[in-house]
Amino acid sequence: MDWSLLNPYAAWPYLRNELFFKSPWVYYFAIVSDVLLRFTWIIYLVLAHEKAFSPLISFGIAFGEVFRRFIWCFFRMENEHKGK
């Protein structure tokens, strides 16, 4: 909702009519990566019983969350700039 996406009647399905990027695949990538990165914390639940929980996995999950928030912020600002 913050991105004003998921409009089934737009020129590109589930996007909005005014896009900043020429290629709509940037938006589709952002939608899919946002959903996937949002639920990476489940890895902690699955690997919670492991004694040798890798710090590299923790770093990867944290970096993924930072990247997800950057994507969210970028498209949120683009949406505000376009004027919804």
Which token pair is 64?
């993924």
Task: Using CB atoms within 10 Å of the CB of residue 28, give its burial: 0 to 12 exposed, 13 to 18 middle, 19+ buried.
Answer: middle
Average pLDDT per run of 10 along the chain, which is 84 residues long?
A: 74 83 89 89 74 76 92 85 67
Residue type, 65: E
By the 8 A CB rule, do 3 and 75 touch?
Answer: yes
pLDDT value of position 69: 93
Question: What's the chain's length in residues?
Answer: 84
